[in-house]
Structure 1
Amino acid sequence: MKKLLKWFTPLLLMTVLWSCSNEQSNIQTEIKIPVSVVSIKPQSISRFIETTGTVYSSKEGTMKSELGGIYKIQRNPSTGKPFALGDAVKEGQVLIRIEDKEFVNNLQIESKKLNLELAESNLTKQKPLYDKGGVTETDLKNASITHVNAKYAYENAAIQMAKMAVRAPFDGVIVELPYHTDGVKIEQGQQLFKVMEYEKLLMDVKLPEKHLPEVTLDQLVQITNYNIAKDTIKGIISQISPVIDADTRTFKSVLQINNDKHLLRPGMFIKAAILSEKRDSTIVIPKETIISRQDGKVVFIVENGIATEKRITTGLETMDVIEVVSGLKINDRLVVSGFETLRNKSKVSVLQ
């Protein structure tokens, strides 16, 4: 019996050890690394040249008094009140009148108008008489000279009279309106108001020399400002200087911005992103999923519960994403979290 136990005990011990070892091996084999994946779909990616600057109006005009007289600000028919800062005005609309009765009397515009009518009547009579030989050529020419002089005299008087009504030079908004007491006399040359049109805004930018080949006329620009964070305003490149500044190694461009909703104001500091390149229907992945190695860049995809290493070639990139030119295909399941501890052909458990 002792001999039997002596033989059986080592055999039992070996069986137990083998069983434990096999169980541990199975446990190790079944360990799966938890990961999150996304299915790759075609996307677009754009690269921008970013710059900042201050916008200014595309059109502005300052109106001054061309003669002295009594200051009379007019009422805005839209508000029923005297014109004020911020009022929208139309081209040719009278904002201020300068009254001077003595000036008007000296123009003698009514008498000059009557004189012109008489000269026109006389010239009309002289022409058929000349055709019939009733007057000489000299008489006809004198009548023509009298008519021309009367016409110029009346037109000049009308031009001077028109200076008494100060009109908006174009459609726009009153942005400056120096205060003058209504009914007081002002002198010639005083500033009366300033009008701006800012449905189109401009911005001067200086871009690094390396971007010159990428910038073209009418190229799309996206405009943002902290006051309009929810809106992106569009613009274009309207002018490009071909000269490089020798000191700064930059070239000047002018951006034209569509501001028909008046979200921007002249003088605002804004950020402009010039679209330099765009790719549509391409593979785009988060930059953080890429592992950089000495021999290149790799990512992991999941196929049948196995993480497979894929070497990739990249193209356009932004701050957060990058284009994959080769190495991946549409509908590949890209590992976006948990890839840090993966090895090629690691077993994974995909988290939902």
Structure 2
Amino acid sequence: MKYYSYTFATLAIVAATLSGCNNQPQNSQNDIASPVSVIELKKGSISKLINTTGTALATYEVTLNSEMSGSYKLQNNPRTGKPFKLGDLVKQGELIIRLDDKEYENGIAIDAKKLSLEISEQEQVKQKALYEKGGVTLSEMRNTEVKVTNAKYDYETGLLNLEKMNVKAPFDGVIVDLPHYTPNVQVEQNKPMVGIMDYKQLYMEINLPESSIGYVKPQQPVFITHYTLPHDTLRGVISELSPAISTETRTFKGKIMIQNNKLMIRPGMFVKADIVVEKADSSIIIPKEVVQSSRNRKFVYIVEKNTAIYREIKTGLEDEDNMEVVSGLNVNDNLVIRGYETLRENSKVKVQK
């Protein structure tokens, strides 16, 4: 009997011990605070963009050839005091190259033409005075007018012919091509002299997919970027659109004008254009990467009192990185942007800076 009593007593002690162990609180996953990072939501703006690419080209571009033959004389840049060179800015009407040919200039005899015009004008004044006094007939006075007109045409034609010896900038721009000629060497007619571009305003021709024809409109703003300018964005605008769709490419043509006042983009660069077809101002904007989905529902987590709160959201406009939230979030909500992948409703969290 003592043996059995001892055995039952031992079993009772073991059972009590096990029971006590089972009643001790255990750490659950919900009691472990997950580290997260949050941002406080504010209102901002977002745009719906249609992306395309193309080559930026100068709005004004010209290659000037020699209209006459002559001795080559490259002129000095008045801003530097040195001969013009590639990359120099030029003003409209500025003389860049002069071709000298004394024999050609003497043949024009511009001084004689000017003198002939002055004499004919003096004769006209004299004949008009005589006609008013009855000293000459109307026909005689009109003949002097013909002489003045002919002398004026001769003089102006001479000036135009002399001007052919000068190579001048037709507009404000930059020298982009300047073939080398030995000073004072005889240059033949129709030889390239200088290339000038004005690329303060650029344009690019684009081809857009048929699916975007209902979105893209003239005068819509465009953001222009290039990989060499990672921190700078230029502004442009849709200037022209074709209403016709190509049956071969299923695209339609357009043109973008680009403001390039600081000459940051060079003609010939391959650039990216983001056309702003829709814009939302004063909206809650969140990073696209934090949005999760399940059963066709989009959701995120916010933090309230160190607890993760599930929020189902409805979204609007999107760009490459962000998304507009139409409903489900409020200004000043603390949105979880890191550590959201393992969260559940009411998970304990620890906000890290």
Q: Establish whether TM, by shorter chain, passes 0.5.
A: yes
**Residue of structure 2 equivalent to 1:303:** 304
Q: CA RMSD in A?
A: 2.5
Partner of 1:19, secondary structure, is helix
Which piece of structure 1 moves more, 122-131 or 221-230? Answer: 221-230
Distance 1:30 1:130 in 2: 117
Is residue 91 from structure 1 mapped to residue 92 from structure 2 by the alignment? yes
Change (3 A) 1:267 1:29: closer
Alignment of 1:179-258 (within 5 A): 179-258=180-259
SS at match of 1:160: helix
In structure 2, runs of 5+ residues without a counterpart are none
AA aligned opposite 2:206: V
Name the structure 1 match of 2:322: 321
Comparing 152-161 with 43-52, greater Cα deviation is found at 43-52
Distance 1:53 1:30 in 2: 54
Q: Contact between 1:35 and 1:339, CA under 8 Å: does it hold in 2?
A: no
Q: Equivalents in 2 of 1:337, 1:102: separation in Å?
A: 83
Q: Does the C-alpha gap of structure 1 residues 13 and 230 become closer, same or farther in structure 2, counting only changes over 3 Å? A: same
**Alpha-carbon spacing, 1:301–1:124, altered in 2? closer, same or farther (3 Å):** same
Cα distance in 2 for residues equivalent to 1:79 and 1:211: 50
Letter paired with 2:32? K
Q: Which residue of 2 is the match for residue 161 of structure 1? A: 162
* Contact 1:34–1:351 (8 Å) recurs in 2: no
Kindly state the Cα deviation for residue 23 of structure 1 after the two structures are TM-superposed. Answer: 0.8
- Structure 1 residue 54 displacement after superposition: 1.5
Q: Which moved more, 1:13-22 or 1:172-181?
A: 13-22
Structure 1 portions without partners, runs of 5+: none
Please give the secondary structure, in 2, of the residue aligned with 1:242: coil
| TM-score, normalised relative to structure 1 | 0.90
- What pairs up with 1:259-298 in 2 under 5 angstroms? 259-298=260-299
Larger deviation, residues 323-332 vs 245-254: 323-332
The residue aligned with 2:47 is 46
2: distance between equivalents of 1:107 and 1:66? Answer: 15
- The 1-side partners of 2:108 and 2:14 are apart by 132
C-alpha change, 1:350 and 1:4, in structure 2 (3 Å) is farther
Shift of 1:14: 4.5
Q: For residue 133 of structure 2, what is the amino acid of its counterpart?
A: K
Say whether the 8 Å CA contact 1:33–1:338 is kept in structure 2. Answer: no
Written as runs of structure 1 = structure 2, the 5 A alignment for 1:133-144 is 133-144=134-145
Q: Tell me the residue number matched to 1:32.
A: 32
The separation in 1 between residues aligned to 2:57 and 2:294, in whole angstroms, is 49
Q: Flag the 1:288–1:101 CA change in 2: closer, same or farther, 3 A.
A: closer
Q: CA deviation at 1:170?
A: 1.0
> Counterparts of 1:350 and 1:155 in 2: how far apart (Å)?
84
C-alpha distance in 1 between matches for 2:36 and 2:246: 51
Distance in 2 (alpha carbons) for counterparts of 1:287 and 1:82: 56
Asked if 1 retains the 8 angstrom alpha-carbon contact of 2:209 and 2:252, the reply is yes
The C-alpha deviation readout for 1:260-296, integer Å capped at 9, x for no partner, is: 2122211112222222222223222233333321252
Does 1:118 find its partner at 2:129?
no
> Partner letter of residue 255 of structure 1?
I
Distance 1:36 1:73, change over 3 A: same
Matches within 5 A, 1:47-62: 47-62=48-63
| Pair 1:222–1:30, CA change in 2 (3 A) | closer
Deviation at 1:197, TM superposition (A): 0.8
1:125-178 C-alpha deviation (Å, 9 max, x unpaired): 111221221111111111111121111111111211222222111111111122
1:187-232 Cα distance to aligned partner (Å, 9 max, x none): 2222211111111111111111222222222322222222222322
- Greater Cα offset, 236-245 or 7-16: 7-16
- Do the aligned residues in 1 keep the contact of 2:36 with 2:349 (CA within 8 Å)? no
Q: Match for residue 102 of structure 2?
A: 101
- SS of residue matched to 2:21: helix
The CA distance in 2 between the partners of 1:167 and 1:114, in whole Å, is 27
How has the CA–CA distance of structure 1 residues 183 and 289 changed in structure 2, closer, same or farther, with 3 Å as cutoff?
Answer: closer
Instruction: Encode CA deviations 1:226-275: one digit per residue, 9 max, x unaligned.
Output: 22223222222222222221211111121222222122211112222222
State whether residues 35 and 335 of structure 1, in contact with CA within 8 Å, keep that contact through their aligned partners in structure 2.
no
Corresponding residue number in structure 2 for 1:145: 146
Distance in 1 separating the partners of 2:83 and 2:303: 73
- Distance apart, 1:59 and its partner CA: 0.3
Give the Cα–Cα distance (whole angstroms) in 2 for the partners of residues 114 and 346 of structure 1: 101
